[in-house]
Amino acid sequence: MYDVAIIGAGIIGTSIARALSRYKLSVVVFDKEDDVSMGATKANSAIVHGGFAESHTKVKGGLCYKGRKQFDQLNEELNFGFEKIGSLVLAFEEEQLAKLQELYENGLANGVDDLEILNHDQIMAMEPNVNPAVKYALYCKGAGICSPYEMAIALAENAVANGVKLLLNTEITSIQKNTDGFSLTDQNGQQYQSHYVINAGGVSSDAVSKMVGVDYFTITPRTGEYILMVRGSASIINTVLFQMPTKMGKGILVTPTYFGNLLIGPDAVNEDTVDKSTHAERLLKIFNEAKHTTDKLNIKQFIRSFTGVRAVSSTDDFIIEATPVTGFINCAGIQSPGLTSSPAIAEMVLGLLNELNCPFEEDPSFTPYRAPIITRTELKPVKEIQPLVDMASSPEKIICRCEQVNEATIIDAMNRGIPVTTVDGIKRRTRAGCGWCQGTFCRPRVAEVMEKVLGHAIDAGFDVEHSGVNRVGKNEIVDYIKKHSD
């Protein structure tokens, strides 16, 4: 019998698991995928938002800034990579100043204390490559960037190191309420007992909630496509650049990633089913809208397109509640700013558990620290590293030439308490395969290292991200955009 069972190992599930690992509780996390962070956490804008965009009358409005304030300490403890670079919401029309003022006032109502409305000259001094037609911008100094999947991996590693049990490839298909808790059944008929259950199931959270008869809301998958440019391409801008938000989201953004790639997107399309394919016509529209922010974009720097899926609730807000089914807690409809809010959501869930008389006793053996797998460093010239690329198996042997990831780093990533069974899992932890060639050179080399650790063959060609997905490639999008720009 577990004290707490968490369904879902995205940023919300792993944040809650790590928070619970501070206490003398038996905690289990289930996820149907073969790794953590495989849903919305894996593919999103990677922004740590300011906290001004969501209405102060909504749950998500109240949690965003509370979560944002915790990122410095979390990164100091878990080393997933976070940087405050600030954000600008750009206004290109005089009449948009009133909307910026509304965002500013809403931010103040949410407790945000680092907002300022800038004029044209102030903006251009900060961002020389922004469209010079810009008139005003809302500046948030403390907004930032991180890698969401690396953060979830760090949270999960630390939770596991502190005693949390993680069960991957385990889909909960039914939940039965008992007198002393719940009986959960997986796809293989295996049963698990727990006093409390937390639903952090992402786009499936409505289905999980219905398992206990709580069915007043629905989740609609909302897809957003992105364009990712090569490392170093983000040097043209300094901050996260938003256009004016709409009812569908925060609009097309142009932002650096933590490792210096330029990221453009997303659009927003509500779907009946989850489709992670990308489409040339949608990417063209994204690219053209982004050019309104800056004309310095170069589509020849493109390396990858991808689609993120947001879990949009019919309530148009986060659903974080102790349900009428005593002991069952919902964390549903966690779309943007879910990443930013995640530390505060975890705090809120622990508060709900406390109200339900979950026994919280501090564990003196808890350690909050997790060493980094990788750190941000400058890449060396290829000629300089070539001897390390060509050498025989060794900790110093460079396996990924583009991102200069060595064999020791891959082995380290595989020995942190979470089973890593795919080349993609290594990619998310080490950046091997994230470079210009997108793994063409290193995928078989990564598989070779993994085989030594695991003792069995690895399919270097398997890419769970491409399973049933048609993704627009470099040549196709470059030709398509060129054709439609002439």
- Report, as residue numbers or ranges, the catalytic residues: 49
Our measurement of the distance from residue 180's CA atom to the centroid of its chain's CA atoms, rounded to an integer in Å, reads 35
Among residues 13, 4, 8, 162, the alpha carbon closest in space to that of 78 is found at 162
Can you count the helices (H) and strands (E) in the chain?
14, 22
Residue 226: its H or E element: strand 219-229
Task: Specify whether the CB–CB gap between 38 and 202 falls below 8 A.
Answer: no
Q: Please name the residues in contact with 134: beta carbons below 8 A apart, sequence gap of 6 or more.
A: 90, 91, 92, 120, 123, 124
Q: How many residues does the chain have?
A: 486
Alpha-carbon distance of 324 to 313, in angstroms, equals: 19
Task: Specify whether the CB–CB gap between 123 and 137 falls below 8 A.
Answer: yes
Alpha-carbon distance of 91 to 101, in angstroms, equals: 11
Query: CA gyration radius for the chain?
Result: 22
Alpha-carbon distance of 225 to 240, in angstroms, equals: 17
Type of residue found at 110:
N
Alpha-carbon distance of 335 to 249, in angstroms, equals: 10
Cis peptide before 395 (omega within 30 of 0): no
Calculate the CA dihedral of residues 313, 314, 318, 323 and round it to 10 degrees.
-110
Q: Are strands 2-7 and 27-30 parallel, antiparallel or unpaired?
A: parallel
Type of residue found at 235:
S
Question: What's the DSSP call for residue 392?
Answer: P
Token duo for residue 284: 């063209």
Q: How many CB atoms lie within 10 A of CB 379?
A: 16
Alpha-carbon distance of 371 to 486, in angstroms, equals: 50
Q: For residue 436, with 0-12 CB atoms within 10 Å meaning exposed, 13-18 middle and 19 or more buried, which class applies?
A: middle
